[in-house]
Amino acid sequence: MDMNFVFISPQFPHTYWNFCDRLHRNGVNVLGIGDSPYDGLEGCLKDALTEYYRVNSLENYDEVLRAVGYFTFKYGKIDWVESNNEYWLMQDARLRTDFNMNTGTKLDGIERYKSKSAMKPYYAKAGVPTARCHKITTPESAYGFLEKTGYPVIVKPDVGVGANDTCRLDNREEVEAFFARLPQTPYVMEEFVEGDICSYDVITDSRCEPLFESMTVWPPSIMDIVNKKTDLAYYTAAAVPVRLQELGRATVRAFEVKSRFVHLEFFRLTKAKKGLGAAGDFVGLEVNMRPAGGYTPDMMNYAHATDVYQIWADMVTADRRLLPDSKNHHCCVYASRRSRYQYVHSHEEILERYGQRIKMCEVMPPLMRAAMGEQMYTAYVDDQDAAAEFIRFVHEKKRGSGEQNDK
């Protein structure tokens, strides 16, 4: 196949070698650009890459631009550039613009994916309810918004990745303290919504049609996990509820999500909220133009007995799904621990109890520990009740452990 695909930062997260590998299997010329030494790349990634260009910093656009220019000179026109990483979303769009690639979003269309406030009209177009949101620049504008919503509210950067720099404000004193340290970055204030976070994860073709769909249920607040260093647990479900599927597909069409693997977040209300819906209803939260974080793509593979990396690669090369549905769907659950706590059950006891159901057991890379924990376990289980029992077993703490370690 005569296709040149530039993969930005293919070495992080380390499971991303799978994207490169499946492209390579499909006959694609896979060209990597990263800031890690070539000798430090895993062998499986080296085998998938035709060539690797090391830059001193991926933050230096001129270096990355020269790298793509070098590949263009050596291999001809570049057909795709992709990182599958939200941090590099703007840079990917800039490269597509500068090298006139039409296989992804360019600079003139990136705002609706990067800015939380800019997402709202597209959700409205899709008929998906969302929490009220307001750009805040002064305390006066914040108090005007609070008169409509009341406390608590969530404040977060209008453009940002993950739960970093996100916090909850419960009273006027906390609002004043927030503005006292408000950085130059534009922030938004959003009404507080009580609910679980359910993601609609989808691989789309060039017509915004779904080739693969999955749902993962997350804890109510990744923000609290990052800020308070609590334990993380979540699971990929066996099936996507019909209503979430309908809203997810409508959102994909409204945002014109073409030829991508994306992670769309929704609240599932745990109590009725005026203007948003009844308990159990879904409310739009954020569109993330990249796969779900951490090892979630691998969890989708275990839950659905499939290969999302291959489905994605086939989308790139054939614009359709070639891998059939396995018809074998269960739950895959993730639970992680932190060294600051003491747990009832030892590492060895977890492995002994769950045996071959343990699919992954790793120490997380330092850059991922704030959100994902330090020691992770991923298990394949029959249903949501079994997932809850696995989480309880992994997370059960010795009496007083949390209080002692939090002092």
**pLDDT above 60: residue 43:** yes
* Domain range enclosing 105: 4-109
One domain, residues 72 and 136: no
Q: What is the pLDDT of residues 153-163, one digit of tens each?
A: 999 999 876 55
Q: What CA–CA distances, in Å, run from 332 to 6, 295, 357? A: 31, 11, 9
One domain, residues 212 and 304: yes
Q: Is residue 122 part of a domain?
A: no
Could you give the CA distance from residue 336 to residue 374 in angstroms, rounded to a whole number? 7
Q: What is the pLDDT of residues 170-179, one digit of tens each?
A: 999 999 999 9
Could you give the CA distance from residue 52 to residue 310 in angstroms, rounded to a whole number? 22
Predicted pLDDT of residue 407: 36
Q: What is the pLDDT of residues 78-88, one digit of tens each?
A: 999 999 998 99
Q: Tell me, what CATH number does 67's domain have?
A: 3.40.50.20
- DSSP percent split of the chain into helix, strand, coil, nearest 5: 40, 25, 35
Q: What is the pLDDT of residues 236-281, one digit of tens each?
A: 999 999 999 999 999 999 999 999 999 999 999 999 999 999 999 9
Count other C-beta atoms under 10 Å from residue 235's C-beta.
26
Q: What is the pLDDT of residues 218-228, one digit of tens each?
A: 876 677 788 78
One domain, residues 161 and 305: no
Q: Is residue 127 part of a domain?
A: no
In angstroms, how far is CA 255 from the centroid of its own chain? 17
Contacts of 35 (CB under 8 A, 6+ apart): 9, 54, 55, 56, 57, 58
Q: Which two tokens stand for residue 91?
A: 């840079």
One domain, residues 144 and 103: no
Q: Is residue 120 part of a domain?
A: no
Domain end among 151, 168, 191: 191
One domain, residues 83 and 220: no
Predicted pLDDT of residue 403: 41
One domain, residues 341 and 355: yes
Q: What is the pLDDT of residues 310-354, one digit of tens each?
A: 999 999 999 999 999 999 999 999 999 999 999 999 999 999 999
One domain, residues 259 and 381: yes
pTM for this predicted structure: 0.93
One domain, residues 164 and 239: no
Q: Tell me, what CATH number does 262's domain have?
A: 3.30.470.20
Q: Which two tokens stand for residue 324?
A: 């059939």
Domain count, the chain: 3
- Answer whether the bond into residue 297 is a cis peptide, omega within 30°: no
- Answer whether the bond into residue 13 is a cis peptide, omega within 30°: yes
One domain, residues 262 and 315: yes
Q: Which of 38-47, 105-114, 141-150, 372-381 has the lowest mean pLDDT?
A: 105-114
- At residue 221, φ and ψ (nearest 5 deg) are -145, 100
One domain, residues 104 and 154: no
Task: Indicate the pLDDT class of residue 371, thresholds 50, 70 and 90.
Answer: confident
